[in-house]
Amino acid sequence: MRALELGFSAVGIASVGPLEARLHYEAWLAAGRHGEMAYLASEKHRRRRAHPEAILRDLQAVVCVALCHDPDRDPGREGRLGRIARYAAGEDYHGVMRDKLRALQRFVRELLPGSRALWYSDTGAILERGWAERAGLGWIGKHSGLISQQFGSWFLLGELLVDRPLEPDPPLAREHCGTCARCLAACPTGAIVGPYQVDARRFSYLTIELRGPIPIELRPLVGDWIFGCDVCQEVCPWNRFAPPAREARLHARALEGWTLERFLGLDEAEFAQLFHQSPIRRAQRSGFLRNVCVALGNRGEPAAASALERALERDPEPLVRSHAAWALGEIARRVKGEEATAGARNPMLAALRRAAETDAAPEVREEARAALSMLNPDEATSFRSGSRQGTPAAPRR
């Protein structure tokens, strides 16, 4: 079929009709598990998911495609850069899928003169996994992702809505997770709250969609993931069948010379240039550097302290400065010996005290004071008593 010639890993055709996935989606919204992504709960968005004919009048068939991305880890790269979800390690998949789906769209229009076809790939109000499951591409696993017996789950989905009848493919007779619950047990933050139930607010959402601070109780659980998470897929037994990515644009970028510490020096223009063709743009500079701070804090390596001190004192975004303060506190807590509590001579503690006293943003002062109080309870007492007063100052550049 033409879809496979274009480089897609799999293709199937779904018949049009109400999807059971819609009920699951509505329950997910009702539970508030979409977090700050309010657009997902809008009337227009929900209506289109429930009635795709509102997107394409006279909808007759949904062509579903899958495109495999790299399944392999690169420990050396992750050691320098922190962990990035596999799908986001290469070029932005939206552009890759767009080019292939447009070619498939042209083919369908030539094959069926006068027909209309619209493509989507994480770009509209489409129940992607529900349509793919109906088209026989796989089944919904307990982690709520689609799993294929042939490809595992390391793939992206796309759809072509067509207003002409096409012969549908049968869905799988049953799912194949059985009694396996490895994904539930492995989720670092417990985001998979039950089989087929994911609370987006508790992991990948934190490092991608969330625009504010990461809840302090979840920061240690994020580890060194700086964009997304793959843990549930890493432990899935079906992924032992995952093939390498055929599409070179989805191969991981090397980002030679870059480290977590160097990321902290990125300004807005540099961030936009470095990630202009990457899904990482979605997190925005402030969110991405927030994630980098958390990763460095969780690694707890003293060598990262100087980069975090500069971020705490100079970054223009309070979101970054506040998480840099938390990370410095975590590193200082791990340092053994007298240096960890040695007063003003310790650069980490000195930077935290300056921020606690003079930072212009109250949330930064609060984070710095909380970090200091974890290291020495007397610090908290001194701030509460007013013995440390300073004039809030803007960060230096």
Give the active site residues: 122
Residue 2: is it exposed, middle or buried by C-beta count within 10 angstroms (0-12/13-18/19+)?
A: middle
Alpha-carbon separation of residue 51 from 22, 59, 121, 166, 304 (angstroms) = 10, 10, 18, 19, 51
Cα–Cα distance for residue pair 242/217, rounded to 1 Å: 34
196: which DSSP letter?
Answer: T
Residues in Cβ contact with 178 at an 8 Å cutoff, skipping those fewer than 6 apart: none
Cα–Cα distance for residue pair 365/59, rounded to 1 Å: 56
Q: Structure tokens of 293?
A: 């701070």
User: Which residue, among 288, 305, 267, 317, has the nearest Cα to 214 in the 3D structure?
Assistant: 288
Cα–Cα distance for residue pair 311/395, rounded to 1 Å: 9
User: Which residue, among 382, 381, 391, has the nearest Cα to 357 in the 3D structure?
Assistant: 391
Residue 173: is it exposed, middle or buried by C-beta count within 10 angstroms (0-12/13-18/19+)?
A: exposed
Q: Structure tokens of 383?
A: 């701030």
Asked if 123 and 177 touch (Cβ cutoff 8 Å), the reply is: no
Q: Structure tokens of 187?
A: 């989720």
Residues in Cβ contact with 124 at an 8 Å cutoff, skipping those fewer than 6 apart: 48, 55
Cα–Cα distance for residue pair 6/1, rounded to 1 Å: 9
Asked if 393 and 357 touch (Cβ cutoff 8 Å), the reply is: no
- 109 by DSSP, 3-state: which? helix
Q: How many CA atoms lie within 13 A of 135 on its CB side?
A: 28
